Amino acid sequence: MQKQQEKHTEKSKSCKVFGPVATVFGSSNTGSWRLLRPVVNFGECIKCGTCERYCPVNVVEVHEDKDECVAIDLDYCKGCGICANECPRKCIAMVDERSVE
């Protein structure tokens, strides 16, 4: 029994596997299946950064020096609506993806 364990240990050391999954995934355009899109009312935005903080995929950036202060990378936005729900001024609206041109 000891020899079998030693043999197994030697094999696992030679593979150099660091976890149960040894696959590296590249990023792809995940925004293509989104149903709702966030649209920002820049006139109401106070540039507090709450939407940026709560975004689970980090696609929201707040630029305090620009008029269009909130930039959302729509190629990777999933349309979850967390930014709109957490906004204290409610200046982010989730609109139907098909209605936006």
Over the stretch 10-29, which tens digit does the pLDDT of each residue have? 555 555 555 565 555 566 77
Compute CA distances 19 → 7, 8, 15, 48, 98, whole Å. Answer: 20, 16, 11, 40, 41
CATH of the structural domain 29-99, one choice from 3.30.70.20, 1.10.150.120, 3.90.45.10, 3.40.50.1980? 3.30.70.20
pLDDT at 32: 78
pTM of the model: 0.68
Sequence length of the chain is 101
Over the stretch 37-66, which tens digit does the pLDDT of each residue have? 999 999 999 999 999 999 999 999 999 999
Q: Residues 43, 80: contact at Cβ < 8 Å? A: no
